[in-house]
């Protein structure tokens, strides 16, 4: 019974009520790979395939090529109904005419759960965690075309008190993200991107028959920065749209729309909408402010999965240098 509870807890890591919409009727493992990261991206409806900066690391690694040097810390609450702590960090370093390099980590703590045995009563407790370590290289292929590859390792851990009968080996799996980005115009007003995420071996929790395929996804997106005569020169508008589909099987694709209005490149207001995302469907909104080289971003999502007091909320601190 204890082992079954532990296996169930592992399979539930990162799962929301939209897991069926995101993964069809099949069971998928390592759903932590799908959780959104970054307040700026979340506020813009989780549009990432044609974004820039460290947010793009988790959707299309090719996009860090044209971004700034950046040290980022992302924190989230209620990113998943099961997560108590959700934090990630990234270091991005572009090199002129070469590309960009990045290191990132994503840590999730799912809190303490009780373990019971054959007799009534709790005989122990355990804390479930997941840690994803990743390294990215995004080469500059041409003046307008860039590529990107991210290699990542997911490890699921337990801290046990008492008797838990946990799995003999620490469950872990490796995965690859591969992306491309192309500047349609010389002035970079239109960018298109495509990526395939989470390609790798199955996540084995207990034994081979109980292993589950990774949530492989194909992403397609466009970012547009129109030059509108109606806007004052201090204002800048940025629009984005993504389509998320399954690499194999699945149901209807997901859609993301978002926009950002900035003033003097210092103050930002953002809004968007997510359809069938990993944290549900619904509108998103957020604000940002630049204080010197420090960028502070805040975002919330009005998810149709959120219960009272559990609105997904994101905060990002990004130092651009």
Residue 53 is predicted with a pLDDT of: 81
- Which domains does the chain carry? 2-320 (2.40.160.60)
According to the per-residue pLDDT averaged within each range, which of 80-94, 261-275, 295-309 is highest? Answer: 261-275
User: What whole-number distance in Å separates Cα of residue 321 and Cα of residue 313?
Assistant: 26
Q: How far is CA 224 from CA 83, 167, 169, in A?
A: 34, 48, 47
| pTM score, whole prediction | 0.85
Q: What is the pLDDT of residues 143-191, one digit of tens each?
A: 999 999 999 999 998 777 766 666 667 789 999 999 999 999 877 789 9
User: What whole-number distance in Å separates Cα of residue 20 and Cα of residue 34?
Assistant: 13
Residue 119 is predicted with a pLDDT of: 62
**Quick one: residue 25, left, alpha or beta (phi over 0 = left, psi -120 to 50 = alpha)?**
alpha
Q: What is the pLDDT of residues 278-300, one digit of tens each?
A: 888 999 999 999 999 999 999 99
* Residue 3 pLDDT greater than 90, yes or no: no
Does residue 205 contact residue 171 with C-beta atoms inside 8 Å?
Answer: yes
Nearest to 93 by CA among 64, 52, 50: 64
Q: What is the pLDDT of residues 35-61, one digit of tens each?
A: 989 999 999 999 988 777 888 898 899
User: What whole-number distance in Å separates Cα of residue 232 and Cα of residue 181?
Assistant: 29
User: What whole-number distance in Å separates Cα of residue 282 and Cα of residue 226?
Assistant: 25
Higher model confidence: residue 126 or residue 37?
37
Rounded to 5, what percent of the chain is helix, strand, coil?
10, 50, 35
Q: What percent of the chain has pLDDT over 70?
A: 82
Pair of tokens at residue 199: 């390609």
Count Cα neighbours of 105 within 13 Å in the Cβ-side half-sphere.
8
């Amino acid at each position: 019974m204890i082992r079954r509870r532990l296996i169930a807890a592992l399979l539930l890591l990162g799962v929301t009520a939209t897991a069926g919409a995101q993964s069809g009727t099949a069971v998928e493992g390592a759903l932590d790979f799908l959780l959104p990261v970054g307040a700026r991206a979340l506020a813009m409806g989780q549009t990432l395939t044609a974004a820039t900066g460290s947010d793009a690391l988790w959707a299309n690694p090719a996009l860090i090529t044209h971004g700034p040097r950046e040290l980022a810390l992302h924190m989230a609450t209620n990113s998943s109904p099961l997560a108590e702590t959700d934090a990630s960090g990234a270091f991005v370093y572009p090199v002129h005419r070469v590309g960009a390099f990045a290191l990132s980590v994503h840590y999730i703590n799912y809190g303490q759960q009780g373990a019971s045995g054959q007799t009534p009563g709790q005989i122990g407790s355990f804390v479930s965690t997941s840690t994803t370590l990743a390294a990215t290289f995004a080469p500059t292929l041409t003046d307008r075309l860039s590529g990107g590859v991210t290699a990542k390792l997911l490890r699921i851990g337990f801290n046990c008190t008492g008797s838990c009968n946990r799995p003999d080996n620490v469950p872990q799996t490796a995965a690859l993200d591969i992306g491309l980005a192309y500047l349609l115009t010389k002035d970079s007003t239109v960018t298109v991107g495509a990526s395939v995420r989470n390609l790798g071996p199955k996540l084995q929790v207990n034994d081979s028959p109980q292993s589950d395929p990774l949530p492989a996804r194909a992403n397609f997106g466009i970012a547009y920065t129109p030059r509108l005569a109606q806007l004052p020169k201090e204002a800048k508008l940025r629009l984005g749209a993504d389509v998320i589909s399954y690499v194999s099987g699945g149901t209807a694709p997901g859609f993301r729309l978002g926009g950002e209005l900035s003033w003097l490149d210092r103050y930002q207001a953002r809004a968007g909408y997510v359809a069938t995302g990993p944290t549900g469907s619904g509108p998103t909104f957020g604000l940002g402010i630049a204080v010197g080289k420090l960028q502070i971003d805040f975002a919330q999502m009005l998810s149709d999965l959120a219960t009272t007091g559990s609105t997904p909320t994101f905060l990002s601190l990004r130092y651009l240098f």
